[in-house]
Every structure is written in C-alpha cells, then in structure tokens.
Amino acid sequence: MFKAKIYIILKPSVLDPQGNAVMHALHSLGHEEVADVRVSKYIEVMFNISDEKIVSEKVELICDKVLANPNTETYNYELEPVSDAEANKN
Amino acid sequence: MFKAKIYIILKPSVLDPQGNAVMHALHSLGHEEVADVRVSKYIEVMFNISDEKIVSEKVELICDKVLANPNTETYNYELEPVSDAEANKN
C-alpha cells in the first residue's frame, strides 16, 4: 500500500479570501507580525497498489481530473510506502 | 521573515465526511484501489519576525487559539526562513 500526501495550493496570482479573512482575524487579535496567510488543502489518499510508478500515475490522474481545479490551483505530492499492519491500525 | 507551513489534521478517531465523499466519488469514477481519503488543511503563514524561537511560539499560540479545533484536530508545522527579496516576489 502507498499513502499519497497531496498538497493542493492556490496559484500565487489567485486571490485567497479565506486566507485574507484568517490574516485579518489574526491582526485583530494582536498578531500584527503576520504578513500573509494562504489556506490550501492537504489530502491523504491510501492506495491498495504496491507499484510506486502506478500509484504516481493514479495520483496525477486523480489530481488533474478530480481534486484540483487546474485554472486556479496547482498540486504536488509525496508517496510513502505503508505496511498492511500500519494501514489496519488507523 | 519566516514562512510557517502548518498542517491541521483531523484526529484519527474523528470521522471525515468530506474525505468519505471524495473516496466515494473516486470509487464511482472507477478508482476502486483507493482505500481511504482524509481531507485536511494546509496553511502557510508569513511572519515578519527574524527569531525562529519566537516564530515557533507564535505558531503554536495561533494554532491552539485560532486555527485548529483542539477537540477534533491536531497540527504540526515546519518553519522555513524566507529572505525579504523572496517575500516581495510573491
């Protein structure tokens, strides 16, 4: 099994209203030294596949077609092998 | 300046309806080998502070008080020094 750790991040040119809201909330709480906040998604996907190359292709397909909006977001990911014992623990 | 990369993750014992919805969507699109999906938040916060220890304390304070729900979520973070030139580029 593999665990894919997928980061889906807004492109730098895209406004992030959620991040701005968090930044203003932090400023109003006195954390004036916060210069910028960007809120993104972090998705962990477990795959019942043992071949890293196939997992990698699957992750890119899923990100391109389902998880990320190619107009506004980019993604990157890391793969981590997981033993069946560890997978059952969660 | 420092960039804090903050991961806010649901505790393993907490149900993740958003993750389940994504998993079912992936299954219905034919990706049957997806065994589990957990959707979490990834937040980048820029700090106008040059002392890493103070940034670290700030991040923990902000996560405990604002960003994470201590009942259902845990967090971890990494700090990355950022030059002023890089910060202005974004």
**Cβ atoms of B77 and B4 closer than 8 Å:** yes
- Cβ-based contacts of A67 with chain B (< 8 Å): 22
Identify whether A26 is part of a domain: no
Instruction: Calculate the alpha carbon distances from B80 to A25, B31, B66 in Å.
Output: 23, 36, 21
Which residue type does A51 have?
D
Identify the residue among B10, B42, B90 best suited for mutation to test binding to A, counting A beta carbons within 10 A and taking the highest.
Answer: B42
Sheet arrangement for strand A73-81? A73-81, A2-10, A34-47, B34-47, B2-10, B73-81
Flag whether A31 is in a domain: no
Q: Classify residue A66: in a domain, yes or no.
A: yes
Which pLDDT tens digit goes with each residue over A1-24? Answer: 999 999 999 999 999 999 999 999
Q: Which residue range forms the structural domain that includes residue B33?
A: 2-89
Closest CA relative to residue A37, chosen from B68, B41, B46: B46
Q: In DSSP terms, which residues pair with A61 in a beta bridge?
A: none
Tell me the pLDDT band of B83, cut-offs 50, 70 and 90.
confident
Closest by Cα among A16, A13, A60 to A41: A16
Nearest CA in chain A to B40: A42
Domain count, chain A: 1
Q: A85: domain CATH number? A: 3.30.1280.10
The verdict on A82 touching B (C-beta cutoff 8 Å) is no
- Within 13 Å and on the Cβ side, how many CA atoms surround B62? 32
Note whether residue A81 is domain-resident: yes
Lookup result for tokens 């954390």: A31
> What pLDDT digit, counting tens, does each position of B53-80 carry?
999 999 999 999 999 999 999 999 999 9
